[in-house]
Amino acid sequence: MMNTKWLAASFLTVSVLLFGACGNENSSGGSEGEAEGGNGTEDQVNLIAATQLDSESAFAAGFEKFKEVVEEESDGSVTVEVHTNGDLGGNEDELVQNLETGSVDLVAAAPGFMAQSVQEVDFFSMPYLFESRDHWESVIDGEVGDTLTNEIESNTSFDVLGYWTAGVRNYYGAEPIETPSDLDGMSLRTQDSPVVTNTWEALGAQPTSVAWDEMYQALQNNVVDAAENDFTNIYLASHHEVASNISLTQHDYTTRLFFTSDQVMDQLSESQQEAVMTAAEEATQTERETDQELAEESKAAMEEAGVEINKVEQEAFFEQTEEVRENAAESLDLVEEYEQVVEMKEN
């Protein structure tokens, strides 16, 4: 059974930030000086970690692991404060902009928020790109993930620290669906991404943009017929109260980018950078494991509350959107990478 605090927290769309400034007198939590408990030669650095999600979220768990490991690995010369529940901002777009201007140290965000700078990253937004969590991990942690990391780091001032997840997205609404034809003419709240919009249009739906914090009322008042998201987001936002059917389209094994900036890394010593990379690796593993645990708990809680969860003809959805993925891969100049992903799926 989930704890009361976790159940009560409001859950906004997956958007996460770590705020702060490294090693200068204007830092939110740190200033130049010798590290306490360290080797006495490195500047003390304090990083502020912040997320609009609650303290029991997968992102919060990842940040707590990052704090634990980086403080240990750096002998205390790098410290971290973790702020949750939107204490330091709840708008992902705004906070990613803060990273670019130097007032944020580290961010975990959806690919769409970086696509304006590096369009190739929208590759990870393709619905039905991955067939399972194992397939997603093999791609994201392999050559294709490395290729996208290089594109980002070559064309921006960002440094990718790892790939996180925000669950597996499914359709949900007042009525269930089983085949693509069930979506004909249906208004569906979707993410704001060209490849996502094109996918749902190919399935016959009418993609609609609605702010996440307005979604409960939009579903309740039939402003939109349905939406799509992962179990944890649906549950914590209480959307299951006004949309009691979830259909397992499993169209998106989500990718979230955990990244920092050159400005942050350049202010760290070599050993501090190594500590950050070690912490980022362990934080990534913790975030993924926690996300899976929360998804299972959320699904069980919604079923107990009377939500109906049904299977769909996934192959029909996949086939009807294949052209969208092929066109997107071509427009992003990532045809070879797309073919690699398909081959890994077949193996």
pLDDT at 346: 66
| Total tally of structural domains belonging to the chain | 2
pLDDT tens digits, one per residue of 188-199: 999 878 899 999
Q: Which residue has the higher pLDDT, 295 or 101?
A: 295
Q: Which residue has the higher pLDDT, 218 or 87?
A: 218
pLDDT at 89: 64
- Position 347 confidence tier, pLDDT thresholds 50, 70, 90: low
- Position 34 confidence tier, pLDDT thresholds 50, 70, 90: very low
SS3 26: coil
Q: What is the mean pLDDT of residues 317-330?
A: 96
Q: What is the CATH number of the domain that holds 126?
A: 3.40.190.170
Asked whether the predicted pLDDT for residue 13 surpasses 50, the reply is no
State how beta strands 45-51 and 78-83 pair. parallel
- 264 lies in the same domain as 162: yes
Assigned token pair, 284: 């990534």
- 115 lies in the same domain as 159: yes
- 36 lies in the same domain as 97: yes
- For the chain, the average pLDDT equals 85
Which domain range does residue 224 map to? 168-253+300-346
Asked whether the predicted pLDDT for residue 17 surpasses 60, the reply is no
- 10 lies in the same domain as 135: yes
- Position 14 confidence tier, pLDDT thresholds 50, 70, 90: very low
pLDDT tens digits, one per residue of 47-90: 887 777 788 889 889 989 999 999 999 999 998 888 777 776 66
Asked whether the predicted pLDDT for residue 207 surpasses 50, the reply is yes
- Position 20 confidence tier, pLDDT thresholds 50, 70, 90: very low
- Count other Cβ atoms within 10 Å, centred on residue 343: 9
pLDDT at 22: 43
- 48 lies in the same domain as 181: no
For residue 164, give the nearest of 262, 69, 63, 50 by alpha carbon.
63
Please give the Cα distance from 77 to 33 (Å, whole number): 9
Asked whether the predicted pLDDT for residue 115 surpasses 50, the reply is yes
- 106 lies in the same domain as 68: yes
- 91 lies in the same domain as 172: no
- 105 lies in the same domain as 228: no
pLDDT tens digits, one per residue of 154-178: 998 888 999 999 999 999 999 999 9
pLDDT at 170: 98
State how beta strands 308-311 and 245-253 pair. parallel
- 236 lies in the same domain as 315: yes
- Position 107 confidence tier, pLDDT thresholds 50, 70, 90: confident
- 107 lies in the same domain as 75: yes
Q: Which residue has the higher pLDDT, 311 or 35?
A: 311
Compute the C-alpha angle 246/249/251, nearest 5°.
130
Asked if 270 and 123 touch (Cβ cutoff 8 Å), the reply is no
pLDDT at 21: 41
- 136 lies in the same domain as 225: no
- 70 lies in the same domain as 151: yes
